[in-house]
Amino acid sequence: MQPGSGALHGGCGALPAVPGAVAVQSDCGLRGRCLYSKPSALTCVVQALRSMLYKFKSRATADVIMLEANGRQLLQIMGKSPDPHGIVTVAQIPAAIAALEAAIAADEKRDPAAAGANGRGAEEEERDAERANTVRLHQRAAPLIDMLRRSAAEEADVTW
């Protein structure tokens, strides 16, 4: 993605280039098979967003939708390939939960300031304030871990 390129969905150019703006990928991947002969700006954005999300599904719970980078990170932690489609079988769920929980514990050990400590300077408190505004691994993984636990209880696979 190039800043300010304005290229959307096959280069339809429906949205003008804006300096400093980030445009979506210029190819929707359908390569001439697109259902829309002249896609609108909304169609372009929807097609681009679909390629930038992971949608985890299970018969036991509602869907969990994550941005591509976050979903890819969690899949790699679970030992799964970040392909567009995949499955965590009922037999693999306990290992996937254990891997996610181990990664969360390691992440929290790496940053002990997230737990909080007293007697610090102003600079350290400022860094803590910045950390408070970031989304931690345990927060990103919680919906997926919940889905995995409920799916294991109901013996349902998780797909994406």
pLDDT score, position 105: 96
* Residues sharing a CB contact under 8 Å with residue 96, sequence separation 6 or more, in sequence order: 78, 79, 80, 88, 148
- pLDDT at residue number 23: 42
Rounded to an integer, the average pLDDT of 46-55 is: 72
Predicted local distance difference test score (pLDDT) of residue 133: 75
pLDDT value, residue 40: 58
Helix (H, G, I), strand (E, B) or coil at 68: helix
78 versus 14: the higher-pLDDT residue is 78
The confidence score (pLDDT) of residue 12 equals 44
Average pLDDT in the chain: 76
pLDDT at 112: 63
- pLDDT tens-digit series, residues 51-94: 689 999 999 999 999 999 999 999 999 999 999 999 999 999 99
Q: DSSP readout, 111-131?
A: -GGGT--SS--HHHHHHHHHH
More confident residue, 39 or 96: 96
Q: Between 76 and 11, whose confidence is greater?
A: 76
